[in-house]
């Protein structure tokens, strides 16, 4: 199976979408809508400090009756962030997402954030890989 770095290489410049912890949740929601993304990395002075997902918003703002205009990202972001290296195998990423019940994994090399992958990225890759394998098998059988 391929390393996650190959998935990052296929993505447009959207892998480094981020927001600052002092920004409002409303600003984060605007970015999520603009990028058509489900999560943003939270960066402070170039360092990854958390992840803000749609799930964080629904559970920590909408369901609690808080205002997205006055609540800061730092107040609701997930701080216990699980990361992977660019060499991490795609299957390992899937297992980690399942085990930790997360849908997004930042990809980090040392202290440098390289991007973020989503479960959708992994599923798209697996489907394409299976389609390719099926095509090769059909060609082999028909020749």
| Domain limits, the chain | 4-142
3-class DSSP state for residue 111? coil
Residue 132 pLDDT: 63
Q: Report the percentage of the chain scoring pLDDT > 70.
A: 93
CATH annotation of 4-142: 3.10.580.10
Residue 137 pLDDT: 73
Residue 11 pLDDT: 77
Report the distance separating Cα 89 and Cα 70, nearest Å: 40
Residue 121 pLDDT: 86
Answer whether residue 28 shows pLDDT above 60.
Answer: yes
Identify the CA nearest to 42 among candidates 104, 97, 88: 104
Provide the token pair at 22.
């002092």
Report the distance separating Cα 118 and Cα 26, nearest Å: 22
Residue 88 pLDDT: 96
Report the distance separating Cα 70 and Cα 34, nearest Å: 20
| CA 71, chain centre distance (Å) | 22
How confident is the model over 86-92, as a mean pLDDT? 93
Answer whether residue 130 shows pLDDT above 80.
Answer: no
Burial 60-85 (b: 16+ CB within 10 A, else e): bbeeeeeebeebebbebbbeebebbe
The pTM score is 0.84
């Amino acid at each position: 199976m391929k390393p996650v770095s190959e998935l990052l290489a296929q993505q447009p410049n959207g892998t480094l979408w981020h927001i600052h912890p002092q920004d409002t949740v409303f600003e984060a929601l605007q970015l999520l809508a603009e990028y058509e993304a489900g999560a943003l990395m939270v960066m402070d002075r170039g360092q990854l400090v958390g992840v803000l997902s749609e799930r964080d918003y629904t559970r920590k703002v909408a369901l609690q009756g808080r205002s997205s205009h006055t609540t800061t990202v730092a107040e609701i972001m997930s701080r216990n962030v699980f990361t992977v290296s660019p060499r991490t195998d795609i299957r390992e990423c899937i297992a980690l997402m399942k085990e930790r019940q997360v849908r997004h994994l930042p990809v980090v090399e040392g202290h440098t954030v390289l991007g973020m992958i989503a479960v959708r990225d992994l599923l798209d890759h697996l489907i394409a890989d299976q389609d390719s394998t099926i095509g090769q098998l059909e060609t082999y059988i028909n020749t």
